Amino acid sequence: MVRPTARARGPGVLRLPTRGDRGRFPAICRQWRYAVQQYHLPLPSPLPWLVLPDGSIFRVPHGETFHLPEGTRYHNSCGEWLMMSRDDNSCFLLNAFTKATMPLPSLSSYCPIDEPVETVNVRDIGRESHGTWIDLKDKDYISVNALVVCSTQLIAALVAVGAGNLGTVALCRPGAAAWSVSAREQCGWLSGMVFFQGKLYAIDTGTEDLLAIDIVDEHDNATPRVS
């Protein structure tokens, strides 16, 4: 049998579709590990994992299906982190690849921050006052319309009432007892959220404005908040 040369092994690695496959390639033998080191091969773009309505995860391209732990419910995801809740309403983040977890507050636990929230250049034409999150949170079940893992010490979520987009931004640190929300800010029709250079950005679906949201994140303070 003719063994592949190091030059032939490099293109062979490039045909492997996932990061996991490329990670296992060097473990086959010393020569294959040497080929990977010689060619400095770039990692492929990560392929999506699909979370199905029944709580199972479908892995592309292998066609494997993973089932979430019994008694858990999926809410949303950010990168490799899945936001889950248990039957006792406790929440946590689950890393789909490493199976690491981070505890989160329950979606029924909130700490209202009674500080002014400055709003700049937001159109008020035709806007209704829907009340604050503390006014609305008990009127229906709570959904998580967006999840952002800003860092290992700061998690942000767009929480909404029922299946719509009427809600607010909630912040927490992993392990905290409650999400922090503004006690004064009126809820809005919010959709989509990203974290960039220290700010959160979300879409107001009522006005189609892009909102920039400042965060007060003092590392010696256990309660991050929207400013």
Q: How far apart are CA 107 and CA 111, in angstroms?
A: 11
- Angle (CA) 92-93-95 rounded to 5° is 145
Write down how long the chain is.
227
Would you state the pLDDT for residue 98? Answer: 82
Q: How far apart are CA 58 and CA 56, in angstroms?
A: 7
Give the predicted TM-score (pTM) of the model.
0.73
Would you state the pLDDT for residue 189? Answer: 92
Q: Do β-strands 179-182 and 110-113 pair in parallel, antiparallel, or remain unpaired?
A: parallel
Sorted by where each begins, the domain ranges of the chain are 6-39, 49-104, 110-226
Would you state the pLDDT for residue 8? Answer: 46
* Residue 29 exposure: Cα atoms within 13 Å on the Cβ side: 6
Would you state the pLDDT for residue 71? Answer: 85
Tens-digit pLDDT profile for the chain (227 aa)? 445 444 544 455 455 555 555 555 555 666 656 665 665 555 555 666 777 766 677 766 666 777 777 788 889 989 889 999 999 999 999 987 788 999 999 999 999 998 766 655 555 544 567 899 999 999 889 999 999 999 989 999 999 998 888 999 999 999 999 999 999 888 999 999 999 998 999 999 888 889 998 888 876 666 888 87
**Which residues does 223 contact at the CB level (< 8 Å), separation at least 6?**
111, 113, 176, 180
Tokens 């035709």 found at: 126
- Across the strands, what pairs with 204? 190, 209
Would you state the pLDDT for residue 123? Answer: 58
Segment holding 134, helix H or strand E? helix 133-136
- Based on the number of CB atoms within 10 Å of its own CB, is 63 exposed (0-12), middle (13-18) or buried (19 or more)? exposed
**Which residues does 22 contact at the CB level (< 8 Å), separation at least 6?**
13, 16, 36, 41, 43, 44
**Is residue 151 a contact partner of residue 173, using CB atoms and an 8 Å limit?**
no
**Is residue 187 a contact partner of residue 131, using CB atoms and an 8 Å limit?**
yes
Would you state the pLDDT for residue 20? Answer: 56
- Based on the number of CB atoms within 10 Å of its own CB, is 161 exposed (0-12), middle (13-18) or buried (19 or more)? buried
**Which residues does 20 contact at the CB level (< 8 Å), separation at least 6?**
none
Would you state the pLDDT for residue 69? Answer: 75
